[in-house]
Chain A
Amino acid sequence: MSKPLENHWTAVVNGEEKHLEIAQTTRLVDVLRTHLQLTGTKVSCEVGRCGACMVLMDGEPVNSCLVMAYQCAGSDIMTIEGLHGDEKGTLHPIQQAFVEEGGFQCGYCTPGMVISTKALLDAHPEPSQEQIETGLCGNLCRCTGYGGIIRAVRKAGERCVVKETSAEETVS
């Protein structure tokens, strides 16, 4: 007997096509953590306030605790495990900046914070203080007081801009 069709879920997660047989009301955070064992996405408030479970869905940051399987079926999802530098296994400039500037302590908010920073810098490569505050106000951190995070985001922004500029120069 074949499984009911409505439980079939498929999406691209970190560049790989994934197929799962799950209830369509499964939350994306559970799809990731439980079914795909991607535990970099953290669970904390479960009401969309803290941002610990932030992932990119078709390039937009979303709280994965608020998205159900049917809402993200067929989409392109990037979790913290999908973010890396030029080569897999290296740190993305954002991650590197968080390490260098002390942009984390316990680290539990960090994956979500890094993902939100990615979305912020994709939209605003040279963010103003106001844009940083708006872009990250959906992510709570209880350890750092945000000082190290702001310094990390600024540094990551500078690096990403430098990198993009030099890439353009190479092309031209």
Chain B
Amino acid sequence: MLLNRKQSGKRWHLRPDGAPKVTGQLQYLTDMTLPDMIHGRVLRSEYPYARILSIDTSEAEALEGVYAVLTSKDVLGLNRFGIATPDQPVFCEDIVRYVGDAIAAVAADSPERAALALDAIRVVYEELTPLNSTDAALAPDAPELHKHGPGNVLHRTEIKRGDAEQAFATCDHIVTETYFTPRQMHAYMETEGGLFVPDEEGRLNVYAATQHGYKDRMQLARIIGCPEEDIRVVSSPIGGSFGGKDELNVQPYGALLALRCGRPVKMHNSRKESVRAGLKRHPMKIEMQTGMSREGIIQAHRVRITADTGAYATLGAPVLNFCTEHCLGPYAIPNVDVEGVSVYTNNGLSGEFRGFGGNQAIFAMEGQMDRLAEIMNMDPWEFRRRNMREKNDPGPLNQRILVTDGLSQVWEALDRSELWQKHQSPPADPALPPWIKRGVGAAIAMHGAGLGYGIPDPAGGRLSLNNEGKIEVAFSYEEFGQGLIATLEIMLCDLFQCSTSDLSIIIGDTDRVPHSGSSTASRSTTMAWMALQRLQTPFRSHVLTVASALSGVPADELVTGPGGVWRKGQLPAETSEVESESGFVVSYAELATQGEADEWIFDTKFDYPTTPDNVVGGHYLYTYAAVAAEVEVNTLTGETKLLDTRHVVAAGPVINPMGYIGQIEGGSVMALGFTLTEDAVMQDSRYVTTNLDTYLIPTIQDIHTNLEVEAIEDLPEGDAFGPRGIGEIGSVALAPAITAAIHQATGIWVNRLPVPREQLVRPLNVPLQEGVSPS
């Protein structure tokens, strides 16, 4: 179904957080203030790599209006954090490893005074030569950035199947190419920050953005050295994240300063500090060699992935796992030889980012497919079909995966599309000047959801009738813009035929929600759906039993509806006139007064579905996508303009059409930036692009206004997992579609992102001159 407002009809659901957002009334956590609050700031490293010889804070401490100056010796518990591998120091003790490394933090009565205090801290360094590339870090004589070695390798991955070496020897054609992808920045509009408030009961209240409040709480408790229950983390609403706020950022400093000072501390990173300290997408070098038979059947695939993970582990290892899994694409390849390595350097901090390593892998793999198809002189889409995995084939890691038709469905839908049809007969517009070239390209992807085999991936939730008579759900997910609250409203109204005013939705507060996992890996919608499937029957049954006891109407003649319980078959058509209708039996408010409050609370706990096979990181549920793109290349300036795009996505039922379109459109434009303009450039391990005036994300003038989203909603009958995540799938396959289109337009194979404009510039057709070599 072509997804738009018209097609969506009544399912076009207005977001409950809409009015507060468009009026500016919504208080983000960085907007919060308290009368007696003070301001926190962090002193970060002057060098990407250096030894700290001494830190003198006495001058800063003596300044008027300065309440605290903290260094590593003031950390009460563990001086480290990191979701998977806690190796990032809260405050560096002896070595700094990147320009965002924290050395000290101050709290003062104004932001200006806090800045003065930072200036007054004297740090003496011994500057060291930074490892500014993975090559430098892997050199045999390179210093080890971390003690756990060997060398500067964070993580290695491997997939070996068949005998690739022997298979290559028998291949008729082999394509060898090396692909490079940029250090992309999340560029969420709200930079990191929040308010940290110690209360009279000795608890610490943390109001700061994260994608996983419970994980923050656990890490903060470890840093502070206190029980987790002594901390409350309130973590929504969030002004964008895209993976960038999943790791702790300002929280350790705000928390420690607030506890030391015994007063509320406000933190809010400037954009420049956010760029310097924050996560980026892993830049990767992916070498690929792919061989096929005379008939165009891929026989062998060799891949070497090198990921620059920067100074600390963060989620570098799982990102590499994901990239490794996805660099085989949705293809059946008998002989496979893949090795990946994630390397510590002094180049900032790489971590999780929408797509989670899939974007890099799919760009490379789909690039290979286009190059192979050209050798075959074959339609690249047909070439893909010929090599695609069959429905019942195992997943990329040879693991069992849930069988759906998604892959062939997205392939067929794109094949039929008008946009892809243009590829067959490239549009020749005589009105265009000769230096403007047009082309169409396409790419396909399967993208895993969930954290993958071997990583704890708990889910759950709570459904209750609260004492105000509202149907209340509580999840530990977060709203960072994706529209989760609207999606939950839709699901609940569908399940109970109630109205939105009957609902209370609680997320983003560890004091009020059960531990039900994180909002990451395109999985919140699936997990919430699965939780509600488990909770709805016991909840409804209790509601109807009590309603029956109150009214004398048999429970099996009752249903839930707007405002309360109704006689079956007598639900009002519209939800406005509730209790005046004759079929109304009892209100939720009245029901809630019956029995003990606990009787109205239903909990569930389960794990996100994983493959039964023992392959670390292997996924079970996949979302499928095909993307076509038409571009216009100006060969005088090297500028590429995306004209038209179609995304076909197979992710099961569309619960929230507005949210779905928004996620695919947003992901697509983020991928456009990844492809054409975005790169956090570093020179000698220092950022050159320090703000949004030089780090260029797409503006409204840069986008493809002809973006169409087609949703394929089919799932096998009786599918137990419901809607699949779509948070990432819009962002993973556009880059190779664009570069394929550029190739059709210009004949140039691009292997580096963002697309180097100079590579697309062609000299004017001037006659050859002696001594001048045409490029």
Contact = CB atoms under 8 A, between A and B. Distances in A.
A148 B27 contact: no
Contact of B189 (A81, A106, A137, A149): A106
B661 interface: yes
A147 B21 contact: no
B27 A102 contact: no
A102 B482 CA distance: 11
18 contacts: A46-B691, A47-B693, A48-B693, A84-B23, A91-B19, A95-B22, A102-B658, A105-B482, A106-B480, A107-B22, A111-B22, A132-B700, A133-B701, A144-B669, A145-B668, A145-B698, A146-B669, A150-B705
B22 A114 contact: yes
Interface stretch (A34-42, A69-77, A157-165): A34-42
Contacts of B697: 140, 142
Contacts of A52: 189
B24 interface: yes
A81 B26 CA distance: 11
Interface in A35-87: 37-50, 52, 79-81, 83-84
The 8 closest A-B pairs by CB, nearest first: A40-B24, A106-B481, A107-B21, A108-B239, A145-B669, A80-B24, A105-B481, A145-B665
A67 B191 CA distance: 21
A39 B27 contact: yes
B28 A108 contact: yes
A146 B23 contact: no
Interface string B373-399: 000000000000000000000000000
B237 interface: yes
Residue among B17, B667, B692, B697 having the largest count of chain A Cβ atoms under 10 Å: B692
A109 interface: yes
A100 interface: yes
Nearest to B272: A46
B614 to A, nearest CB: 38
A129 B665 CA distance: 18
Contacts of A45: 271, 691-693
B37 to A, nearest CB: 11
A107 B27 CA distance: 11
A102 to B, nearest CB: 4
B700 A137 contact: yes
B542 interface: no
Contacts of B187: 140, 142
A101 B239 contact: no
A20 interface: no
B703 interface: yes
B282 to A, nearest CB: 19
Given A81-B23, A140-B697, A106 B238 contact: yes
Contact of B666 (A79, A81, A137, A143): A143
B424 interface: no
A107 B481 contact: yes
Contacts of A143: 189, 240, 481, 662, 666
A110 B701 CA distance: 17
Interface in A108-163: 108-111, 114, 129, 132-134, 136-137, 139-151
Given A107-B22, A108-B481, A140-B697, 14 more contacts: A37-B33, A46-B691, A91-B22, A99-B22, A104-B21, A108-B188, A140-B189, A142-B666, A143-B481, A145-B670, A145-B707, A146-B700, A148-B661, A150-B705
B722 interface: no
Contacts of B705: 129, 147, 150
A44 to B, nearest CB: 5
Contacts of B692: 44-45, 47, 49-50, 140
Contacts of A151: 5
B540 interface: no
A79 to B, nearest CB: 7
B165 interface: no
B189 A144 contact: no
Nearest to A39: B31
Contacts of A148: 658, 661-662, 665
B699 A142 contact: no
Contacts of A43: 268
B242 interface: yes
Contact of B662 (A40, A48, A144): A144
B189 A105 contact: no
B170 interface: no
A40 B23 contact: yes
Interface string B181-210: 000001111110000000000000000000
B412 to A, nearest CB: 25
B27 A100 contact: no
B270 interface: yes
B271 A106 contact: no
Nearest to B663: A105
Contacts of B658: 102, 148
Contacts of A146: 665, 669, 698, 700, 703
A101 to B, nearest CB: 7
A151 B697 CA distance: 21
A142 B240 contact: yes
A111 B661 CA distance: 22
Residue among B26, B239, B661 having the largest count of chain A Cβ atoms under 10 Å: B239
B25 interface: yes
B14 interface: yes
Interface string A11-43: 000000000000000000000010001111111
A14 to B, nearest CB: 11
Contacts of A149: 700
Contact of A109 (B27, B189, B270): B189
Interface string B13-43: 0110111111111111001010000000000
Contact of A95 (B23, B186, B268, B669): B23
A79 B24 contact: yes
A41 B23 CA distance: 10
Residue among B19, B23, B481, B692 having the largest count of chain A Cβ atoms under 10 Å: B23
Nearest to A94: B22
B280 to A, nearest CB: 14
A144 to B, nearest CB: 5
B564 interface: no
B329 interface: no
A156 B240 CA distance: 25
Residue among A42, A84, A132 having the largest count of chain B Cβ atoms under 10 Å: A42
Contacts of A147: 661-662, 665, 703, 705, 707
B483 interface: yes
Nearest to A146: B700
B458 to A, nearest CB: 26
A108 B189 contact: yes
A135 to B, nearest CB: 9
Given A46-B271, A49-B691, A133-B701, A106 B22 contact: no
Interface in B689-734: 691-693, 697-701, 703, 705, 707
B23 A91 contact: yes
Nearest to B238: A106
A133 B705 CA distance: 11
A39 B193 CA distance: 15
Residue among B14, B17, B240, B691 having the largest count of chain A Cβ atoms under 10 Å: B240
A44 B191 contact: yes
A22 B705 CA distance: 45
Given A37-B33, A98-B22, A108-B240, A46 B270 contact: yes
B188 to A, nearest CB: 6
A99 B190 contact: no
Residue among A42, A44, A99 having the largest count of chain B Cβ atoms under 10 Å: A44
Contacts of A136: 700
A11 to B, nearest CB: 18
Contacts of A33: 31
A40 B665 CA distance: 25
A102 B666 CA distance: 12
Contacts of B5: 101, 151
Contacts of A47: 271, 691-693
B662 A105 contact: yes
